[in-house]
Chains A and B, each alone.
Chain A
């Protein structure tokens, strides 16, 4: 009897340990902090609490549909992770001459991170309004490199247009005013045929 209890405990500890080591790495480099209208990235601080994450501006209240609520909650978690993973301008300044000749790896990785968001939005159109809020937060973060902000703006504009076409109230989604002209011009290039 006692032998079995130890065996069970051993198995549980092994599994628990395995799950602990298999957990995704945390990214303590930047922290998201909320202002009234957008996310502000700050220097590395302890990881924000879940309650703080829940205040992010693109984390709007759900509309009562429990399935959708769950999807929105999952999307918000992902959105926070992705925003934290994106590089800031200072990261580019830290690269050497050779690393900036072609697109630096940290920007390609940023593309991959934004790809995670795009994939989910692509497969779940019900999240499009959440997506638009996420992209607006990204565009509004002046610390992000121009290419990152322009890519976010490209998606934000498309989603805003789509939502307006569907008769969805987009009053809560900022327009493109106050976005630097070079970011707008860059995003526009992506839409050109």
Chain B
């Protein structure tokens, strides 16, 4: 019986030690999580959300805009000011820049085909009817699962401008077929008379799981979303050939070769997103090391997408040439609200 007691005590002892060890391991695992959970005081903005945008997603986007105030930038980057055409980088200036280009946000389930309708406004005519972006350039991000964010308004404007041109050719008179959208909620009905309508659609990619990027009150993810907002905002700019700052096919040898995931413009969406994100990242002393590393990766990924040097691009004429990125004219076309 005494031997049995000893075995029992030994077993209990081993069990307790294993439980303690497992608890210790669990605690260690917990400590590995990024520590950049920081409450960001929310500042008012002018965004209007469709009813189906989930409350946490609204909070996340409002937080992202508010971050511009939480991490105010010094106006010491003349190149960024030149790119954005602003006189300073103060929080109100940057938020104003964003709000000029982003007004409405719809959810990933928003069904464009059932919401869009055609209308005729005789007082409206599309400008630069003889100028369109290169045919191999485009905006492409329609898959809800992989979409981070897309500028729906700019896409609709481009499509209807092109459609009006085709229709005009057939009827041999100028046609300006406008797109109307029934969005509902705070947004109501809108008419797309310019890429500056500022209609964005968010997707699951803006809240990726497993990256500690899916929650609110995380300063690294807020910086990530600011970069996304500024990138998409840039698509609201441009006219004629530069309309919507459409992406171009990446050249041979590029990591994204033959996909419309690059920019010819030196001041295009990838540059805008990368630069604003980097300025905030450099300023962020509350970001975790791991959070910053993820942001650095994205900055490098975006920066690698500006086409330069001797390149060969499928479908581009000429196919092989020396690309030198220059700033595109960002003046928007159409009539702005």
Q: Footprint of B on A, CB under 8 Å?
A: 1, 4-5, 7-8, 11-12, 15, 18-19, 89, 92-93, 96-103, 105, 107-112, 114-116, 118-119, 122, 145-148, 150-151, 154, 182, 186-187, 189-190, 193
Residues of B224-264 whose CB lies within 8 A of A: 228, 231, 247, 255-257, 259-261
Having A97-B140, A115-B293, one finds 10 other A-B pairs with CB under 8 Å, namely A8-B7, A101-B141, A109-B211, A114-B293, A115-B289, A115-B292, A119-B290, A146-B300, A147-B304, A151-B293
Contact check, B301 vs A103: say whether CB atoms are below 8 A apart. Answer: yes
A-B residue pairs, 8 tightest by C-beta: A115-B290, A111-B297, A111-B294, A115-B293, A98-B143, A147-B300, A8-B11, A102-B148
| B296/A92 in contact, CB under 8 A | no
B6-63 residues at the A interface, CB under 8 angstroms: 7-8, 11, 14-15, 18, 22, 32, 34
Across the interface, do B304 and A150 meet the contact criterion of CB distance under 8 Å? yes
Look across to chain B and name the residue whose beta carbon is closest to the beta carbon of A3. B4
Residues from chain A with a CB closer than 8 A to the CB of B303 are 186, 189
Total contacting residues, chain B, CB less than 8 A? 55
Q: Is the interface of A mostly helix, strand, loop or mixed?
A: helix
**Which B residues have a C-beta under 8 Å from some C-beta of A?**
3-4, 7-8, 11, 14-15, 18, 22, 32, 34, 140-143, 146-150, 205, 208, 210-213, 228, 231, 247, 255-257, 259-261, 278, 282, 288-304, 309
Shortest CB–CB separation between residue A7 and chain B, in angstroms? 7
A112-B293 in contact (CB<8A):
yes
Q: Chain A residue with minimal CB distance to B303?
A: A189
CA distance A119 to B287 in the complex (A): 12
Chain A residues with CB under 8 A of B11: 4, 7-8, 11
Whether A111 contacts B298 by the Cβ 8 Å rule is yes
Q: Which residues of B contact A19 (CB under 8 A)?
A: 22
Contact B298 A190 (CB under 8 A): no
A190: chain B residues within 8 A (beta carbon):
278, 296, 299-300
Compute how far the CA of A49 lies from the CA of B243 in the bound complex, rounded to whole angstroms: 56
Least CB distance from A139 to B in Å reads 13
Given contacts A15-B15, A110-B297, A145-B255, contact A100 B261 (CB under 8 A): yes
Is B4 in contact with A1, judged by CB distance below 8 angstroms?
yes
Q: Are B293 and A118 in contact (CB under 8 A)?
A: yes
Whether A112 lies near B290 (C-beta < 8 A) is: yes
Contact of A146 among B213, B288, B296, B304 (CB under 8 A): B304
- Is the CB–CB distance between B259 and A100 below 8 Å? yes
CB distance from A89 to the nearest CB of B (A): 6
CB distance A4 to B8 under 8 Å? yes
* Distance from A17 Cβ to chain B, minimum over Cβ atoms (Å): 12
Q: Give A190 to B299 CA distance when docked, in angstroms.
A: 8
CB-based contact B7/A89 at 8 Å:
no
Which residues in B have their C-beta under 8 angstroms from that of A8? 7-8, 11
Contact A103 B141 (CB under 8 A): no
Given contacts A101-B247, A119-B289, A189-B303, contact A108 B142 (CB under 8 A): no
Contact A118 to B290, CB < 8 A, known contacts A92-B255, A108-B211, A145-B255: yes
